[in-house]
Amino acid sequence: MLRNLKQGGYDLVIGSRYKAGGSIGEWDGLRALTSRWATLLSRPLVPASLTDPMSGFFALRREVFEQLVRRTSGLGFKLLLDLFASSPASVDVQRTALRI
């Protein structure tokens, strides 16, 4: 992740359960279904290219964090989703060059 941030030209790198090489491990069916349901509910808030907005395994450039973190709710535990959902209106990740 750090190499991708430093050398790959990315602003945000996310470890996803739903990409090649990712896994949900030994989750039971209900947990897997709940994860997929939460991902579907988050679609209006995150870029379409983001396959796992519920991921807690991510890294981002400091300047991007400082731009996105200003209005996070501080409630709950899904920081990645909160960064997108609470970001200032000036940070429209759907239309900017945020490299994920």
Tokens for 43? Answer: 């679609």
Average pLDDT of the residues in 5-21: 86
| Cα angle value 55/47/79 (rounded, 5°) | 35
Domain boundaries, the chain: 2-85
Say which residues have a Cβ less than 8 Å from residue 34's Cβ, sequence separation at least 6.
none
Give the model confidence (pLDDT) of 54-90 as tens digits: 888 899 888 888 877 777 777 767 888 888 777 655 4
Look at 14-18, 43-47, 92-96 and tell me which has the smallest mean pLDDT.
92-96
pLDDT at 28: 94
- A 10 A CB-CB count for 81 gives 22
Q: Please state the pTM of the whole predicted model.
A: 0.73
The answer on pLDDT for 95 being more than 70 is: no
